[in-house]
Amino acid sequence: MPIAFVRQIRKDFQLIQMEHEFAVDEVLTKVSILRKEFLHLHRYNPIEHVGSRTKSPASILQKVARLGIDPTPEAIRANIHDIAGVRITCSFIADTYRVLEALTSQTDVQVLRIKDYIAHPKPNGYKSLHALVKIPVFLSTGPVPVTVEVQVRTIAMDFWASLEHKIYYKYDGSVPADLVTSLTEAAQIAEQLDRRMEELHTEVHGAEPEPVEDDTLGMDEHMLMALWDGAREKTDATSPSAKGTAD
Protein backbone atom coordinates (compact mmCIF):
# COMPACT_ATOMS: atom_id res chain seq x y z
CA MET A 1 0.00 0.00 0.00
CA PRO A 2 1.59 3.33 -1.07
CA ILE A 3 2.68 5.61 1.78
CA ALA A 4 0.90 8.57 0.18
CA PHE A 5 -2.40 6.65 0.26
CA VAL A 6 -1.94 5.74 3.93
CA ARG A 7 -1.20 9.35 4.81
CA GLN A 8 -4.27 10.53 2.95
CA ILE A 9 -6.44 7.98 4.78
CA ARG A 10 -5.07 9.15 8.13
CA LYS A 11 -5.70 12.77 7.21
CA ASP A 12 -9.27 12.04 6.08
CA PHE A 13 -10.12 10.15 9.26
CA GLN A 14 -8.71 12.89 11.47
CA LEU A 15 -10.78 15.43 9.56
CA ILE A 16 -13.94 13.35 9.96
CA GLN A 17 -13.37 13.02 13.69
CA MET A 18 -12.73 16.75 14.02
CA GLU A 19 -15.93 17.61 12.12
CA HIS A 20 -17.97 15.38 14.41
CA GLU A 21 -16.35 16.83 17.52
CA PHE A 22 -17.36 20.29 16.32
CA ALA A 23 -20.89 19.05 15.64
CA VAL A 24 -21.11 17.70 19.19
CA ASP A 25 -19.95 21.07 20.48
CA GLU A 26 -22.73 22.75 18.50
CA VAL A 27 -25.38 20.46 19.99
CA LEU A 28 -23.99 20.90 23.51
CA THR A 29 -24.15 24.67 23.07
CA LYS A 30 -27.79 24.44 22.03
CA VAL A 31 -28.60 22.25 25.04
CA SER A 32 -26.79 24.65 27.37
CA ILE A 33 -28.88 27.54 26.03
CA LEU A 34 -32.08 25.56 26.57
CA ARG A 35 -31.09 24.80 30.16
CA LYS A 36 -30.45 28.47 30.91
CA GLU A 37 -33.69 29.52 29.24
CA PHE A 38 -35.74 27.08 31.33
CA LEU A 39 -34.01 28.26 34.50
CA HIS A 40 -34.65 31.94 33.74
CA LEU A 41 -38.25 31.56 32.55
CA HIS A 42 -39.50 28.77 34.79
CA ARG A 43 -36.93 28.39 37.60
CA TYR A 44 -36.95 24.76 36.55
CA ASN A 45 -34.33 22.76 34.71
CA PRO A 46 -35.68 19.65 32.95
CA ILE A 47 -32.17 18.54 31.98
CA GLU A 48 -30.33 16.68 34.72
CA HIS A 49 -27.21 15.62 32.85
CA VAL A 50 -25.63 15.85 29.39
CA GLY A 51 -22.96 13.54 28.03
CA SER A 52 -21.27 13.16 24.67
CA ARG A 53 -18.81 11.01 22.79
CA THR A 54 -17.02 10.90 19.44
CA LYS A 55 -15.57 7.76 17.90
CA SER A 56 -11.80 7.71 17.50
CA PRO A 57 -10.26 7.43 14.04
CA ALA A 58 -9.35 3.81 14.86
CA SER A 59 -12.95 2.99 15.80
CA ILE A 60 -14.20 4.63 12.62
CA LEU A 61 -11.73 2.62 10.54
CA GLN A 62 -12.80 -0.64 12.22
CA LYS A 63 -16.44 0.06 11.40
CA VAL A 64 -15.56 1.00 7.82
CA ALA A 65 -13.78 -2.35 7.42
CA ARG A 66 -16.63 -4.26 9.10
CA LEU A 67 -19.29 -2.67 6.87
CA GLY A 68 -17.14 -2.98 3.77
CA ILE A 69 -17.61 0.62 2.63
CA ASP A 70 -15.10 2.84 0.85
CA PRO A 71 -12.72 4.63 3.27
CA THR A 72 -13.57 8.03 1.83
CA PRO A 73 -15.08 10.97 3.76
CA GLU A 74 -18.11 10.99 1.47
CA ALA A 75 -18.86 7.28 1.95
CA ILE A 76 -18.30 7.45 5.69
CA ARG A 77 -20.61 10.45 6.14
CA ALA A 78 -23.29 8.70 4.07
CA ASN A 79 -23.14 5.29 5.77
CA ILE A 80 -21.95 5.72 9.36
CA HIS A 81 -24.24 7.80 11.57
CA ASP A 82 -23.06 7.00 15.09
CA ILE A 83 -19.65 8.70 15.03
CA ALA A 84 -20.96 11.57 17.16
CA GLY A 85 -23.44 11.12 19.98
CA VAL A 86 -25.07 13.30 22.62
CA ARG A 87 -27.09 11.87 25.53
CA ILE A 88 -29.49 14.08 27.48
CA THR A 89 -30.85 12.82 30.79
CA CYS A 90 -34.07 14.44 31.98
CA SER A 91 -36.01 14.43 35.22
CA PHE A 92 -39.34 13.15 33.91
CA ILE A 93 -40.87 11.49 30.86
CA ALA A 94 -42.68 14.66 29.77
CA ASP A 95 -39.37 16.50 29.91
CA THR A 96 -37.77 14.13 27.39
CA TYR A 97 -40.37 15.06 24.77
CA ARG A 98 -40.24 18.76 25.67
CA VAL A 99 -36.45 18.93 25.36
CA LEU A 100 -36.30 16.94 22.12
CA GLU A 101 -39.00 19.12 20.57
CA ALA A 102 -37.18 22.31 21.59
CA LEU A 103 -33.92 21.02 20.13
CA THR A 104 -35.18 19.57 16.85
CA SER A 105 -37.48 22.51 16.06
CA GLN A 106 -34.51 24.84 15.59
CA THR A 107 -34.11 26.00 12.00
CA ASP A 108 -30.50 24.86 11.60
CA VAL A 109 -31.24 21.34 12.87
CA GLN A 110 -32.28 18.92 10.14
CA VAL A 111 -34.11 15.90 11.54
CA LEU A 112 -33.27 12.71 9.64
CA ARG A 113 -35.04 10.20 11.86
CA ILE A 114 -36.73 9.94 15.25
CA LYS A 115 -37.38 6.66 17.06
CA ASP A 116 -39.63 6.72 20.11
CA TYR A 117 -38.58 3.80 22.28
CA ILE A 118 -40.47 5.31 25.22
CA ALA A 119 -43.88 4.87 23.62
CA HIS A 120 -42.69 1.70 21.88
CA PRO A 121 -40.00 0.03 24.04
CA LYS A 122 -37.70 -2.65 22.71
CA PRO A 123 -38.60 -6.26 23.69
CA ASN A 124 -36.00 -6.27 26.48
CA GLY A 125 -37.55 -3.13 28.04
CA TYR A 126 -35.13 -0.53 26.66
CA LYS A 127 -36.61 2.98 26.58
CA SER A 128 -35.28 6.21 25.15
CA LEU A 129 -35.90 8.82 22.48
CA HIS A 130 -33.44 8.58 19.57
CA ALA A 131 -33.03 11.38 17.05
CA LEU A 132 -30.66 11.43 14.13
CA VAL A 133 -30.01 15.05 13.23
CA LYS A 134 -27.75 16.93 10.86
CA ILE A 135 -25.94 20.04 12.12
CA PRO A 136 -24.00 22.53 9.97
CA VAL A 137 -20.38 22.89 11.06
CA PHE A 138 -18.78 26.06 9.70
CA LEU A 139 -15.16 25.50 8.72
CA SER A 140 -12.73 27.81 6.92
CA THR A 141 -13.66 26.05 3.68
CA GLY A 142 -17.38 26.51 4.25
CA PRO A 143 -20.25 24.76 6.05
CA VAL A 144 -20.23 20.97 6.36
CA PRO A 145 -23.41 19.10 7.37
CA VAL A 146 -22.56 16.56 10.07
CA THR A 147 -24.79 13.85 11.51
CA VAL A 148 -25.20 13.53 15.29
CA GLU A 149 -27.16 10.89 17.19
CA VAL A 150 -29.11 12.38 20.11
CA GLN A 151 -30.57 10.23 22.86
CA VAL A 152 -32.98 11.63 25.44
CA ARG A 153 -34.09 9.58 28.43
CA THR A 154 -35.04 9.83 32.09
CA ILE A 155 -32.70 9.11 35.00
CA ALA A 156 -34.36 5.74 35.59
CA MET A 157 -34.10 4.81 31.89
CA ASP A 158 -30.45 5.84 31.82
CA PHE A 159 -29.63 3.80 34.93
CA TRP A 160 -31.31 0.73 33.43
CA ALA A 161 -29.59 1.16 30.05
CA SER A 162 -26.19 1.52 31.75
CA LEU A 163 -26.72 -1.70 33.72
CA GLU A 164 -27.96 -3.54 30.62
CA HIS A 165 -24.88 -2.44 28.66
CA LYS A 166 -22.51 -3.67 31.39
CA ILE A 167 -24.25 -7.05 31.57
CA TYR A 168 -24.21 -7.57 27.79
CA TYR A 169 -20.55 -6.51 27.68
CA LYS A 170 -19.62 -8.99 30.42
CA TYR A 171 -21.35 -11.87 28.66
CA ASP A 172 -20.21 -10.72 25.20
CA GLY A 173 -23.84 -10.48 24.06
CA SER A 174 -24.79 -14.04 25.13
CA VAL A 175 -26.70 -13.17 28.29
CA PRO A 176 -28.35 -16.06 30.21
CA ALA A 177 -32.12 -16.25 29.86
CA ASP A 178 -32.76 -15.66 33.56
CA LEU A 179 -30.77 -12.42 33.47
CA VAL A 180 -32.68 -11.26 30.38
CA THR A 181 -35.94 -11.89 32.25
CA SER A 182 -34.65 -9.99 35.29
CA LEU A 183 -33.60 -7.07 33.10
CA THR A 184 -37.05 -6.90 31.53
CA GLU A 185 -38.66 -6.93 34.97
CA ALA A 186 -36.29 -4.19 36.11
CA ALA A 187 -37.31 -2.08 33.11
CA GLN A 188 -40.94 -2.40 34.18
CA ILE A 189 -40.04 -1.30 37.71
CA ALA A 190 -38.12 1.68 36.30
CA GLU A 191 -41.19 2.65 34.28
CA GLN A 192 -43.39 2.49 37.39
CA LEU A 193 -40.90 4.71 39.22
CA ASP A 194 -40.88 7.22 36.36
CA ARG A 195 -44.68 7.37 36.29
CA ARG A 196 -45.03 7.73 40.05
CA MET A 197 -42.38 10.44 40.37
CA GLU A 198 -43.98 12.39 37.54
CA GLU A 199 -47.38 12.13 39.24
CA LEU A 200 -45.90 13.50 42.47
CA HIS A 201 -44.20 16.34 40.59
CA THR A 202 -47.45 17.22 38.81
CA GLU A 203 -49.35 17.27 42.11
CA VAL A 204 -46.91 19.83 43.49
CA HIS A 205 -46.11 21.99 40.46
CA GLY A 206 -48.88 21.35 37.93
CA ALA A 207 -48.69 19.81 34.49
CA GLU A 208 -46.74 22.65 32.86
CA PRO A 209 -43.99 24.87 34.33
CA GLU A 210 -45.32 28.37 34.95
CA PRO A 211 -43.31 31.43 33.83
CA VAL A 212 -41.94 33.39 36.77
CA GLU A 213 -40.45 36.84 37.14
CA ASP A 214 -36.68 36.85 37.11
CA ASP A 215 -35.08 39.24 39.59
CA THR A 216 -31.60 37.71 39.42
CA LEU A 217 -30.23 40.98 38.01
CA GLY A 218 -31.16 42.78 41.22
CA MET A 219 -33.71 45.04 39.48
CA ASP A 220 -36.81 45.27 41.64
CA GLU A 221 -40.08 46.97 40.61
CA HIS A 222 -39.19 50.30 42.30
CA MET A 223 -35.91 50.51 40.38
CA LEU A 224 -37.65 49.71 37.09
CA MET A 225 -40.33 52.36 37.72
CA ALA A 226 -37.65 54.96 38.47
CA LEU A 227 -35.83 54.06 35.23
CA TRP A 228 -39.13 54.31 33.32
CA ASP A 229 -40.00 57.74 34.79
CA GLY A 230 -36.49 59.03 34.07
CA ALA A 231 -36.67 57.87 30.45
CA ARG A 232 -40.07 59.52 29.97
CA GLU A 233 -38.85 62.84 31.43
CA LYS A 234 -35.82 62.78 29.11
CA THR A 235 -38.02 61.98 26.10
CA ASP A 236 -40.49 64.75 26.96
CA ALA A 237 -37.68 67.29 27.39
CA THR A 238 -36.17 66.57 23.96
CA SER A 239 -39.42 66.23 22.00
CA PRO A 240 -40.32 68.85 19.30
CA SER A 241 -43.40 69.92 21.22
CA ALA A 242 -41.34 70.64 24.30
CA LYS A 243 -38.87 72.76 22.27
CA GLY A 244 -41.71 74.68 20.70
CA THR A 245 -43.15 75.55 24.08
CA ALA A 246 -39.75 76.73 25.29
CA ASP A 247 -39.40 79.00 22.23
Inform me whether the pLDDT recorded for 69 exceeds 60: yes
Inform me whether the pLDDT recorded for 26 exceeds 60: yes
More confident residue, 204 or 164: 164
Task: Name the phi and psi angles at 149, rounded to 5.
Answer: -95, 125
Q: What pLDDT, on the 0 to 100 scale, is given for residue 241?
A: 62
Least confident of 61-65, 107-111, 163-167, 207-211: 207-211
Task: Name the phi and psi angles at 190, rounded to 5.
Answer: -60, -40
Between the ranges 9-18, 155-164, 206-215, 218-227, where is the mean pLDDT highest?
Answer: 155-164
Q: What pLDDT, on the 0 to 100 scale, is given for residue 87?
A: 97
Q: What pLDDT, on the 0 to 100 scale, is given for residue 153?
A: 97
DSSP-derived secondary structure letter, 33 = H
Contacts by 137-141, CB closer than 8 A, 24 or more apart: 137/19, 137/22, 137/23, 137/26, 139/19, 139/22
Average pLDDT, the chain: 86
End-to-end CA distance of the chain: 91
Whether the predicted model's global pTM rises above the 0.85 cut: no
Which residue, among 95, 57, 78, has the nearest Cα to 134 in the 3D structure?
A: 78
> For 31-58, what is the mean pLDDT?
90
Helix and strand counts by DSSP (H, E) for the chain? 8, 5
b/e string for 157-173 if b means 16 or more Cβ within 10 A?
Answer: bbebbeebeeebeeeee
Instruction: Give the Cα separation of 23 and 132 in Å (integer).
Output: 12
> For 214-224, what is the mean pLDDT?
62
User: Which run of H or E residues covers position 168?
Assistant: helix 155-170
Q: What is the DSSP string of 132-165?
A: EEEEEEEETTEEEEEEEEEEEEEHHHHHHHHHHH
- Using an 8 Å Cβ cutoff, are 84 and 150 in contact? no
**Active-site positions?**
149
